[in-house]
Amino acid sequence: MKQLFLLFSLLSVFPVYSQQSSDFVCRLGFTFEMSFKDNWGKNMPVILSVDPLSPADAAGLKVNDIVESINDVSTENKMFNEINLWLQNGSSGDLRLTVSNLSYKKKAVVLRKDCKLSNALNERNLASVYSFYSLENIQERSFICPFKTTLHSGLNLMNYKTFGFMEVDQNNRELEEVINESIRKALEKKGLIYQPDNADLIVSTYYSYDKNLNYEASPGAEKLPLASRYNMQTEKMETLPVYYHPLINQKQAKYLLNLGIRMIDRLRSSGSNLVVAWECEANEMLSSDYSINNYAVFHIPLMLMQYPYPQTLETAQFMYLSMKYNYTGLNYNIDNLKEVVDVDRYSPAYRASIKPGDEIERICGIKIENNPKTASESYKQFIYKTMPLRDVHTVYTNSSGFTQCMFWDKFKYAQIADEFKKTDNATIYSYLFYFEPYIHLSGTNILTFDIKRGKERMSVKVTPVLRLETMFGNYK
């Protein structure tokens, strides 16, 4: 598992960073790829993801933004490495980007880099690395949906601004109105305008839901894995009565479901000759009854994440990241974990007068382990040793493929808290989740740092900020 065996290979957590010098790394907080699709941003960078609380997020960059220029130089027909070099070498720490999306064209954006010493390890990194201290608060999960997306070659989706719907089938009026409402909300959120008459795009849907005539009952069917997917309405991962696994045969599904969405170019279509600019179709195998109404409300927002720039066409791949942790603003030396190399300006640690160069000896009474290799081994041993204290009913697989992710057993919090206090477990970075009762039973979220500054030793109280980050996207 990545967290266990590559504990301190942390530069990979920066989606886009710039190496200003050998001493500094500047985080931008977004990923991109060069588009080679006629339909969206051809031969220009398209943004794939934006980290919460990052410089890109603060600047207002959005997923699917087409980056048309950087520092007033066009990005068209440039190579990926050349664009990446431009992002690294922005003058004065700022970058001027021009971006376009469905709801704006040639929008000017100023991106201010977040630069740190290259050996600095921040608390966001640590919360991710030490996620097994509190899986209740740090989750990174991925899933795949069987969405096949088709694009009409030569049609640029940037040219469509309005949409309407095909006439509703009166025999299925209630269902189609639910489907259309879900589509309307998703497209308006993307920046398209609903226009019932003479719209650029006419949305058409098709669907079916039937018992599987070829269904064959098999022993152990109740143990077949069900899909867990992110519900964009509740903002939570949910387990559904849906099979999606390469080893599951269609004969094992009790029901089969089909749902498709077509975007038809109104001006180019005539009579029965429909020009489909974009289409997405879902074909699902179900373990039990799951109405197409409920399926549509849940999945249409996911399907429309493939519009206008699908990263994959035969399936859709999604990533969900949720983080809740204590932020003090401390940055540790990745080679000597006791040393503070930087303190974020105006952070809780800054206001408590902790300074770069301070040596941290203990946090909340736990002695710090300064050797990264020893710290990694202690973390692995803690995970293995405390597995019996987890709730087996909460098991899930994380995005790294580890199948035994589980929350702590609520009936064993006192025992778990004792394990966190044991010196040999070296759970120094559990302070990131000190607000949880299984780490600190009293629930008082005030941290004590024992610090050595030269020959002077002192104890400093820090009241952290509870930082919340959530990111959900359609990734390769």
pLDDT digits (tens, 9 = 90+) for 408-452: 999 999 999 999 999 889 999 999 999 999 999 887 899 999 999
User: Does the pTM exceed 0.85?
Assistant: yes
Q: What is the pLDDT of residues 314-359, one digit of tens each?
A: 999 999 999 999 999 999 999 899 999 999 999 999 999 999 999 9
Domain boundaries, the chain: 9-118, 119-139+324-476, 147-314
Question: Cis before residue 308, ω within 30 degrees of 0?
Answer: yes
Domains 9-118 and 119-139+324-476 share a fold: yes
User: Rounded to an integer, what distance in angstroms lies between the CA atom of residue 99 and that of residue 105?
Assistant: 7
Domain boundaries 9-118, corresponding CATH code: 2.30.42.10
User: Rounded to an integer, what distance in angstroms lies between the CA atom of residue 304 and that of residue 162?
Assistant: 15
Q: Angle CA(212)–CA(214)–CA(217) in degrees, nearest 5?
A: 90
Looking at every residue in the chain, the average pLDDT score rounds to: 91
User: Rounded to an integer, what distance in angstroms lies between the CA atom of residue 163 and that of residue 63?
Assistant: 21
Q: Which two tokens stand for residue 87?
A: 């992002």
Q: What is the pLDDT of residues 198-222, one digit of tens each?
A: 999 999 999 999 999 999 988 888 8
User: Rounded to an integer, what distance in angstroms lies between the CA atom of residue 265 and that of residue 452?
Assistant: 69
The listed CATH number (3.40.640.10, 3.30.160.670, 3.30.70.1290, 3.90.640.10) that belongs to domain 147-314: 3.30.160.670
pLDDT-derived band of residue 90, with 50, 70 and 90 as boundaries?
A: low
Contact at 8 Å (CB) between 146 and 244? yes
Superfamily grouping for domain 119-139+324-476:
PDZ domain (2.30.42.10)
**pLDDT, position 169:** 93
> Which contiguous run of DSSP H or E holds residue 414?
helix 413-421
User: Rounded to an integer, what distance in angstroms lies between the CA atom of residue 295 and that of residue 273?
Assistant: 30
